[in-house]
Amino acid sequence: MHSTPVRIAKADPPRHDKPHRTRKPSSASEPADKLMEPLYAESARLEALLALARDDRVSSATAVALGSDFEARIAGIDAALIQPSLSSQRRLELWKDRVSALRNYASFESTQRALAASGERYDAMLVSID
């Protein structure tokens, strides 16, 4: 009897809307585009790394809360980036902020994965100091 192997597709995590890369045909935008392209590329690389490093199967409540904070920060930046009235300078600053936030999130998730591989977990207590 031949059986066909069953493949189970892993559900994609919820994604926030990514900002659109806007390009203006004028030559005035060329310097800004040259500064933005590396940010676009690094953002894409970091998102791919996050997709690989994230493991939702095992996580502490603290790690889930911190991950949600990172996602909220990135979503806030993305919301600001889709505003049509942004100046080139502000758009550049937001893309730099986005890449920085993604770096921090990727570092956190990679550390989570490394800890899990060694049988440990990130389980710190969060406190508020007034």
Two structure tokens written together for 65: 């809360």
According to the model, what pLDDT value does residue 65 have?
Answer: 85
User: Do 92 and 43 touch, CB atoms closer than 8 A?
Assistant: no
Q: At what angle do helices 61-81 and 88-117 cross, to 10 degrees?
A: 160
Two structure tokens written together for 23: 């390009």
Average per-residue pLDDT for the chain: 77
CA 78, CA 108: separation in Å to the nearest integer? 20
Cut 0.85: pTM above it = no
Residue with tokens 């199967």: 57
Write out pLDDT tens, residues 44-95.
999 999 988 877 666 677 788 888 999 999 999 999 999 999 999 999 999 9
According to the model, what pLDDT value does residue 111 have?
Answer: 86
According to the model, what pLDDT value does residue 13 have?
Answer: 44
Encoded amino acid at 66, one letter: L
Give the residue-averaged pLDDT of 110-116: 82
Helices (H), the chain: 30-53, 61-81, 88-117
Phi, psi of 107 (to 5 degrees): -65, -45
User: Do 53 and 110 touch, CB atoms closer than 8 A?
Assistant: yes
Radius of gyration, CA atoms only, the chain:
19
According to the model, what pLDDT value does residue 24 have?
Answer: 41
For the chain, report the end-to-end CA distance as a whole number of angstroms. 69
